[in-house]
Amino acid sequence: MEIQTFSIVTGTRACNARCPFCVSRMTGFSEIPKRRELNARNFQKAAMLAERAGTTTVLLTGKGEPTLYPNEITEYLTRLGDYSFPLLELQTNALDIGRLARDGSCPSKLTIDHLENWYDLGLTTIAISTVDFDSSANAKVYHEDYPPLETTIELLHRLGFSIRLCVMMVRQGIDSPKRLQELISFCRSLKVEQLTARPIRRPDHSDSQQASDYVEKHGVTDQEVRLVNQWVEDNGVHLMTLMHGAKIYDVLGQNVCIGDCLTVEPTSDKIRTLIFYSNGRITYDWQHDGAILLGGRC
């Protein structure tokens, strides 16, 4: 068995953004326990399994926004110090990180000291979820108070982190080769290390009709996705293909990954992501309850 990513669900369903295409709402919150003590026993088992399966990347993610729980992030990073995972990443909407960069403070408990401590504990990469590089476009989706990405990225680079900009492709957003070129130029100007572009999708079985309807109305078409993919293939150098089919290219000197957020590979024994929940539940798919290795405490 191979496991590409060890994903740790941090925090609860609470979020400071309002994404209308929220994947968490569509894939459900049934696995998210109320705030409780971490099931350290099952965390150790999940980490051992990932380590023995050759996992190189750990992703601190959430069904809500992880940075609302800075002490929980610190605890996970501290525990991960007992293992040999080289790449430790944090997935975030970066709203409060951006407010720290812009204002020196934010509504949550997050501080610059937290970020500096996470770097010292081995956190390597901040993966910022967004729909555009334009703040006004992001404000329409995430929050009316959306700090400029430029200041957010500058702060994180100054602290030593690498950046992955994870752009969700929506209609009238990054939906064409021209818009992707503009996005690449933005990333190059700020020395963003990695760029991922993927279309918004609805899962096979959605728990949110509202979010699913938004995806149907505002998602990019298959033809638009093909045009973007073809432009990348024509103008980039293929560097590698990940186990779930996402391809990484060098495009004009920018690292670009073209993928799909809900790809499933049922015919392979390779696991795209091993998922740990704080109550001890361990699964290997976001959509299907049957993809379970260990149950958690009730």
- Are 269 and 1 in contact by the 8 Å Cβ rule? The answer is yes
Strand partners, 32: none
DSSP 42: H
Residue 59 phi, psi (nearest 5): -120, 115
Residue 219 phi, psi (nearest 5): -70, 150
- Are 26 and 203 in contact by the 8 Å Cβ rule? The answer is yes
Strand partners, 87: 57
List of residues 6+ apart from 5 with CB closer than 8 A: 55, 57, 58, 59, 272, 273, 274
Q: Given this model, what pLDDT does residue 42 score? A: 97
Which residue bears the tokens 């403070």?
Answer: 105
Q: Tell me the average pLDDT across 140-167.
A: 95
Q: Tell me the average pLDDT across 250-275.
A: 77
Q: Is 287 exposed, middle or buried (0-12, 13-18, 19+ CB in 10 A)?
A: middle
Q: Which of these ranges, 13-22, 39-48, 65-74, 115-124, has the smallest mean pLDDT?
A: 13-22
The per-residue DSSP string of 163-175 comes to EEEEEEEBTTSS-
Q: Tell me the average pLDDT across 127-136.
A: 94
Q: What whole-number distance in Å separates Cα of residue 65 and Cα of residue 137?
A: 20
Q: Which amino acid is at 123?
A: L
Residue 263: pLDDT band (50, 70, 90) is: very low
Q: Given this model, what pLDDT does residue 120 score? A: 98
Q: Given this model, what pLDDT does residue 297 score? A: 85
Q: What fold characterizes domain 2-294?
A: TIM Barrel (3.20.20)
C-alpha dihedral over 263, 259, 278, 163, to 10 degrees? Answer: 180
**What digits encode the pLDDT tens for the residues 38-56?**
999 999 999 999 999 999 9
What's the whole-number average pLDDT of the chain? 88
Q: What whole-number distance in Å separates Cα of residue 199 and Cα of residue 203?
A: 12
pLDDT over 90 at 275, yes or no: yes
List of residues 6+ apart from 93 with CB closer than 8 A: 15, 16, 17, 19, 65, 128, 129, 130, 142
Residue 255: pLDDT band (50, 70, 90) is: very high
Q: Tell me the average pLDDT across 213-223.
A: 77
